[in-house]
Amino acid sequence: MIEFKPLAITENEACLFDLLSENQVEVKKVPVEENRVFSLALYDGNQYIGGITANKWMNATHISLLALSKSYRHQGYGTQLLKKAETFAKQEGAALITINTQDYQAKTFYEKQGYHVFGQLADTPFVGTTKYYIVKQI
């Protein structure tokens, strides 16, 4: 009997990854590579002030999140976090890094770091803002 059931996201994603990996090997004849994660936090003493997370899979690294507390911005910490993620990506053999950002967030910051927009969606994730898809070859 076929039925729909709720499943914890981590377990569901693992099963989906297996299905997609089987398809990749079958169709593209490219062996599956383990996803590598990167997570770095920034502290001022015991106070968490920001961090970055990324995933490297195959030839690409995607920065999932990068944020700093407002009072620590424009002091070079974001650049340092980004550079550490780029170093991770290079060491893991990635050819490029992608990031998503909103028009009210850090698009200009990423462009100053050598990233460029390769796509955008208006009114996403809510009306009145634009989501940008950004990439850098490394």
The pLDDT of residue 54: 98
Residue 72: per-residue pLDDT: 98
pLDDT of the residue at 34: 87
* Tens digit of each residue's pLDDT (9 = 90 or more) over 68-91: 999 999 999 999 999 999 999 999
For residue 136, the model assigns a pLDDT of 98
Residues of the chain with pLDDT under 70: none
Q: What is the mean pLDDT of the chain?
A: 96
Predicted confidence at residue 117, as pLDDT, reads: 98
Secondary structure of the chain as H, E, C letters: CCCCCCCCHHHHHHHHHHHHHHHHHHHHCCCCCCCEEEEEEEEECCEEEEEEEEEEECCEEEEEEEEECHHHCCCCHHHHHHHHHHHHHHHCCCCEEEEEEECCCCHHHHHHCCCEEEEEEECCCCCCCEEEEEEEEC
Residue 111: CB atoms within 10 Å: 14
pLDDT at res. 15: 94
- What is the chain's length? 138
Radius of gyration of the chain (CA): 18
CA distance 111 to 97: 13
State the pLDDT at residue 32: 87
Kindly report whether the global pTM for this prediction surpasses the value 0.85.
yes
